[in-house]
Structure 1
Amino acid sequence: MSDIPEADRSGEAPHPRETTQLFGQSAAEAEFLDAWNTGRLHHGWLLTGANGVGKATLAWRIARFLLTDPPAQADTLDAPPGHAALPRIRALSEPSLMLIRRPWDEKAKKLKTQITVDEVRRLGSFFGLSAGGRRVVIVDPADELNPSAANAILKLLEEPPAKATLLLISHRPARLLPTIRSRCRVLRLAPLEPDALEAAVVQAGGHPAAANPLAEGSVGAALELADGGADTYEALVNLLSKPQMDRARARAMADACAGKAGAARLDATVTAIARLLHRAARTGLLGPPPDAPDAEVRTLTRLAPHDAAARVWARLAQDIGDRVAHARAVNVDPAAIVWDALARIDAQARQI
């Protein structure tokens, strides 16, 4: 089992359950502690914010806190050192904890693209066998629940077992069922300030210089940019810098994502596309980011010269994100996924 990748681990960084310190999210921690100390602990919590700002790390801190006999009045989420449950939590063998994430497909020898309903159904036996004590469920991320799995989680939120706490991690909460959102208390995690970002990057095994402003306060984004993502984004910015996209270069960028050898390139390219559309939408409303290099400023300004363009790029970002997710779920050729996204961006840019 040690050779099977973990769907909720980001690259080579330590898994969030192995990360003991959370940087820059004291407000979210204080909000949860207030609910605990006042006896208003909700059964469902939705942890939201950009990818890589510490949502999973906070979820695991909460899990350790709840499962290590916390005092009725607590001033920190730190678990007591040496508690017997801590090594079990770290090893995913604690009987009062269940982690729901994308499972391994033994037949295809890869992680499934969604969290299946079979994974959620395991909670039936989990709650049956662990009846009587406090139980914690982490869903990471809830965005990857397929429709049947989402409905199963909803039923659990509607009829929660006693002393159960569900921690749902979500990068894009707007895509969740409204009924799931309405039955959870929301903990919003903000982008990290520069000092917190640098400390978190170092804790994750990165170099302090990896705290790139382009990461916009996200540890995951900073590590991804340092691992070649910055070069991919720069290539995308250059590709879209002219009034008419160079189709030959665009085709080469798409073809580089094909096959198993291009899997990492596909992830980096899809991330770069999402980043560009996000920054273009924000440029149309607020102007280009103050720390953006001149080449990026020129491209963003061309793409989003006014607020109407901002709305266009925001809609297209969501549309392309949905199309990419669906295409990956049904094993569409990776080159076709990237080419479709680039062609749609180019077509839209010509209309602005």
Structure 2
Amino acid sequence: MSNETEPDRVPNAPHPRDTLQLIGQDSAVREFLHSFNASRLHHGWLITGPLGVGKATLAWQIARFLLATPANTVDNLFDDPPTFASLHIDRENPVARRIAARSEAGLHSITRSVNPKTGRIRDQIVIDDIRGLTHFLHLSSTDGGRRVVIVDSADDMNMNAANGLLKMLEEPPARTTILLISHQPSRLLPTIRSRCRELRLHPLSPEHMHLALQQADPEIEETPALTELSAGSVGEALRIGSLDGVEMYHQVIQLFSSMPDFDRQRALKLAEAVSQRGNGDKFELLLTLIDICVTRLARTGASGKPPQIEAAPGKSALFSKLSPNPPRSRAWANTAQEISERSRHGKAVNLDPATLVLDTFFKIQKTTSV
């Protein structure tokens, strides 16, 4: 199944349900197992952290573990319950096989669904998706007595869907565990956050990034630029690699290098390339890369130190030139905020992508001219 019908899967990467090894997040695993082994399993878990660091992989690992581990694991009153040191479940385990085949009756996954009127994936998780969960929770318990719900991502819920889920968190069914994946937990209702226990995942180290990328796509070309731009996120590295993002980043740096004169022809060519029909992913990536540049310019002026990794030739010297001191840092920080707000507004009103890109570069030019 393609990513077009699986919005919870990174393009060109295995689905998290098929990724059996979680790399570089041992502390989160230990925290969950400590709660489980102490018989203090919370009914709601909020799995947070940057995009692409393994949150969904952890959620599916927890789901396999819980459904493959019977709720009553003690033979008699005088036995101590077993202690688990790993979430690993063999891929030949019946539960693992059913999950891989998407036929596990004790598991319900919620993500953005297809709008039957348009045939396209919705932009949000809607109340109808939560109503499907209500039906699932009223079914009889599975063999092990557990049920698991995965919401990926909880950030995508609209207000009606969020309120519907909140009711279930307030009155959770017995032996049901709800796993909420969130890239930006601040966007969630405070009442949802307060009813969940948080598992915080962190960006991967370079060593863990290498291992995770090899697991996800052994063919990917790992470069210093890809490492820097992905910031410890395997998902982001795969996205950048699949969309030729490193080359796009080089073009963005070249445009910054032309400031304040501004190479309009180069900017127009880049804007038109990402604005062609079917290039929505490239358009979003370009906005991300521009935001990375502007944010790191602000950081350079504040710290007096440009980024250490040369993701593009001459970048360090360029950043020191454009943001040499704290006042310039503040100017770039204000520009980053304004560009972000303009981008959100432009996408909300369906502004032509090429126009939005050019408008963004005109704002950058103005900042370099001050």
TM range (shorter): 0.7 to 0.9
Question: Which residue is equivalent to 1:289?
Answer: 307
Report matched runs for 1:96-175 at 5 Å: 96-131=106-141, 133-175=145-187
2:227 matches 1:213: yes
Instruction: Find the partner of 2:271 among 237, 243, 254.
Output: 254
Stretch deviating more after TM superposition (133-142 or 288-297): 288-297
**Computing the radius of gyration over CA atoms, which structure comes out larger, 1 or 2?**
2
CA distance, structure 2, for counterparts of residue 313 and residue 250 of structure 1: 20
State how far apart, in whole Å, the 2-side matches of 1:319 and 1:172 are.
Answer: 20
Kindly provide the CA deviation profile for residues 220-249 of structure 1, in whole angstroms up to 9, marking residues without a partner as x. 222233330111111112212223433343
Q: Tell me, in whole angstroms, the C-alpha distance in 2 between the residues paired with 1:334 and 1:289.
A: 29
- Normalising by the residue count of structure 2, what TM-score does the alignment of the two structures yield? 0.84
SS in 1 for 2:14: coil
Judging changes above 3 Å, is the alpha-carbon distance between structure 1 residues 124 and 329 closer, same or farther for their aligned structure 2 residues?
farther
Specify the alignment match of 1:48 in structure 2. 48
Moved more, 222-231 or 275-284: 275-284
Whole-angstrom CA distance in 1 between matches of 2:163 and 2:337? 23
CA contact under 8 A between 1:206 and 1:223: conserved in structure 2? no
Note the 1:309-324 alignment, pairs <5 A. 317=336, 320-321=339-340, 324=343
User: Please, what TM-score do these two structures have when normalized by structure 1?
Assistant: 0.87
Aligned to 2:79: none
**1:40-76, Cα deviation, whole Å (9 max, x unpaired):** 2222222222211111111111111111116642110
CA contact (8 A) 2:220 2:241 kept: no
Other-structure match for 1:13: 13
Provide the secondary structure at the position in 1 that maps to 2:278. Answer: helix
1-side partners of 2:21 and 2:204: how far apart? 14
- Structure 2, gaps ≥5 residues long: 74-81
**1:204 — aligned with what?**
216
Question: For 2:89 and 2:353, how far apart are their aligned partners in 1?
Answer: 44
Structure 1 residues 15 and 318 mapped into 2: Cα distance closer, same or farther (>3 Å)?
A: farther
Task: Give the CA RMSD over aligned residues.
Answer: 2.8
Aligned partners of 2:44, 2:328: CA distance in 1, in Å? 37
* Code of the aligned partner of 1:68: A
Distance 1:118 1:347 in 2: 46
**Distance (Å, rounded) in 1 between the aligned partners of 2:9 and 2:149:** 17
Structure 1 counterpart of 2:59: 59
Aligned-pair CA distance for 1:16: 0.7
Q: CA deviation at 1:194?
A: 1.6
Segment of structure 1 superposing worse, 265-274 or 192-201: 265-274
Match of 1:274? 291
For residues 91-133 of structure 1, give each alpha carbon's deviation from its aligned partner in whole angstroms, at most 9, with x where no partner exists: 3222221111111234434322222222122111111114573
Secondary structure in 1 aligned to 2:138? helix
Q: SS where residue 39 of structure 1 aligns?
A: coil
Specify whether residues 73 and 272 from structure 1 end up closer, same or farther in structure 2 by C-alpha distance, changes over 3 A only. same
Residue correspondences, number: 351
Tell me the percent identity: 45
2:282 to 243, 265, 271: 265
Instruction: Tell me how far apart the structure 2 counterparts of residues 314 and 185 of structure 1 sit (CA, whole Å).
Output: 33
Q: Is the 8 A contact 2:109 2:151 kept in 1?
A: yes
Q: Does 1:77 align with 2:87?
A: yes
* CA distances 1:4-55 after superposition (whole Å, capped 9, x unpaired): 5210111111101100111111111111111111122222222222211111
Give the distance between the partners of 1:312 and 1:93, measured in 2 at CA.
54
| AA partner of residue 288 (structure 1) | P
Counterpart residue identity of residue 127, structure 2: V
Q: 1:247 to 1:145 in 2, by over 3 A?
A: farther
